[in-house]
Every structure is written in C-alpha cells, then in structure tokens.
Structure 1
Amino acid sequence: MLQEFKTFIAKGNVLDLAVGVVIGAAFGKITTSLVEDILNPILGLVIGGADLTNLKYVLKEAVGETPEVSINYGNFIQTIIQFLLVAWVIFLVVKGANKMRLTEKKEE
C-alpha cells in the first residue's frame, strides 16, 4: 500500500495540482491587493470619495454594547470585483494555453 501511495504522489498530475494550488493562493493575494489598493480607491473617487469597503446599509443602530446590524454591500462589491478579475485572468491563461496547443498540433 505504501508503494502505491508513493506512485500516486509521484505522478505528474498530483505534483502539477500541488503547484497550481500554491501559485493560485499567491495569485489570490495579488488580486486582493489589486482590488483593495488600486481599484477600490479609484472606484471610491468615482462614487464621491467613499471607501468602497465601508459602504453599508444599517438595519439597526448599535445600542450600548450591542453592535449594529448592517448589510455590508461594499465588501460584497469588492468580492465580486475580485472574482471577475480572477475569472478574467484564468480565461486569458486558458485561451493562451489552448492557442499554444493548436499551434503545436499544426507544427506536427
């Protein structure tokens, strides 16, 4: 059983997947920084100087030690922007990889 496990781990697909996960996590941090540090200030300026992440609709004000209840739609908008950026880049990477494969097949 141990030998089977070593063979499974040594397969290229498993190693490729592990590398993909690590690179994906790092890419997620880059995307988060792009949205939070570059795009949000620009969007905030366009919508009147508001910090996008602080946009919210308060359902119930804070009373004493009881915190307010609010819908934080600014965070939701930020998450949507992050998702769209990641999806766009993945689309471009897949499109580029497919184009490279087609070029390689034509050369054969």
Structure 2
Amino acid sequence: MAGLFKEFKNFAIKGNMIDMAVGIIIGTAFNNVVSTLVKKVIMPPLSLLTDDVKLSNKKFVLREAADSVEEVAIGYGELFEVLIDFVIIAFTIFVVIKFINRFKRKSEDPKNKEVETPKNIEILSNIEKLMEEQNRYLKQKNSD
C-alpha cells in the first residue's frame, strides 16, 4: 500500500495529474462547442435537404404507441448527429496530436537548430561526438 501511495504522489507531483485534469476540462468544453456546432450550424442545412425534417427526429418505429403502451423506436437521426460530433472531434484530436508530434520530433533531433534542443539530448549528442573522435584517435594510434 505504501508503494502505491508513493507512486501516486510521484504521479501527482510531476504534473501528470494536473495535465490530465486540464485536458479533461478542455475536452469537455470542446465537446460542448462541437455539439452546438453540429446541432445549430451543420444540421439545419441538412434538414433543408430532407424537406425540413429534423434529422434528430428521424426514427424507425418498431411498435406504435397505444393507450397504455409507449412507442418503441430506433432513433437513427440522433445517432447520425452523434456520429458527426465524433468525426469532428476525432479529426480535431488527430490534427492536434500530429501538430504536437511534429514539434516533439524537432525537439528530439540534436542537429535541428530550429527548436531549442533539451539539455539532456544536447549532452548526449556531445558525448557521442567525443566518442567518435576517441574511436578515430584509437584506430589511428593502433594502425601506426
């Protein structure tokens, strides 16, 4: 139990938990923006294409409503709206991750001077250069 607590403490202190919380909050807000965009901007023109029938109201009725029995229906229109939400969110996340990965690759390349290289990678690059020089020197010394 102490090991689990220590691991959680390290996780929280390193900022992972805070980063995750910020991501969840921004993701929730972004989801609301996309839902509103789909319902208020994208779906109205699509409903015009279907003779002013709101796609969210489209359904396949399995059993009609009667006096004491509720209607049973498959609401494929709502599913269509949610799928549009999902596609927009998934595409946006794909673009953001692709953008982040491009910067990550630049920062990990010690020869790329466009983005400042982290100190530990710079040190490893210098060690690698020194080892190459040492190997050349040793080969030269052994061949003499």
Q: Which residue among 31, 34, 45 is the counterpart of 2:34?
A: 31
Residue 89 of structure 1, CA deviation:
0.5
> What is the distance in 2 between the residues matched to 1:73 and 1:103?
45
1:80 aligns with 2:83: yes
Could you tell me which runs of 5 or more consecutive residues in structure 1 were left unpaired when the two chains were aligned: none
Q: Deviation per CA, 1:51-102, whole angstroms, max 9, x where unpaired?
A: 0100011111100132111110001101110100000100111111122223
The alignment partner of 2:28 has SS state of helix
TM-score by length of 1: 0.87
Amino acid at match of 1:12: G
Residue 47 of structure 1, CA deviation:
2.2
Q: What residue number does 1:102 align with? A: 105
> What is the distance in 2 between the residues matched to 1:6 and 1:87?
32
TM-score by length of 2: 0.67
Who wins on radius of gyration, i.e. which is larger?
2
The alignment partner of 1:59 has SS state of strand
> What is the distance in 1 between the residues matched to 2:101 and 2:52?
42
Residue 14 of structure 1, CA deviation:
1.5
CA RMSD of aligned residues (A): 1.9
Q: What residue number does 2:49 align with? A: 46
Aligned length: 108
Greater CA deviation, 29-38 or 42-51?
42-51
Percent of aligned pairs sharing the same letter: 36
Q: Deviation per CA, 1:5-62, whole angstroms, max 9, x where unpaired?
A: 5443222212111110111111111111111111111111122211010001111110
Q: What residue number does 2:60 align with? A: 57
> What is the distance in 1 between the residues matched to 2:11 and 2:100?
26
Amino acid at match of 1:21: I
Greater relative contact order, per chain length (Cα 8 Å cut-off, separation 6+): 1
Q: What residue number does 2:18 align with? A: 15
1:91 aligns with 2:76: no
> What is the distance in 2 between the residues matched to 1:45 and 1:10?
53
